[in-house]
Amino acid sequence: MIDVNLFFYVGIFLAIAGSLATAWGPGVKDPIIRTFNTEVASIGVCLVLLTYNHVLALLTLLATTVVITFVLFRAIIRLEEMGADV
* Terminal Cα-to-Cα distance of the chain (whole angstroms): 45
How do the domains of the chain map onto residue ranges?
4-82
Tell me the pLDDT tens digit for each residue of 16-47. 888 887 777 666 677 777 777 777 888 888 78
Distance CA 56, CA 65 (A): 14
| 3-class state of residue 84 by DSSP | coil
CA 74 to chain centre: 16
Spell out the SS3 assignment of 11-57: HHHHHHHHHHHHHHHHHCCCHHHHHHHHHHHHHHHHHHHHCCCHHHH
pLDDT of residue 11: 86
pTM: 0.62
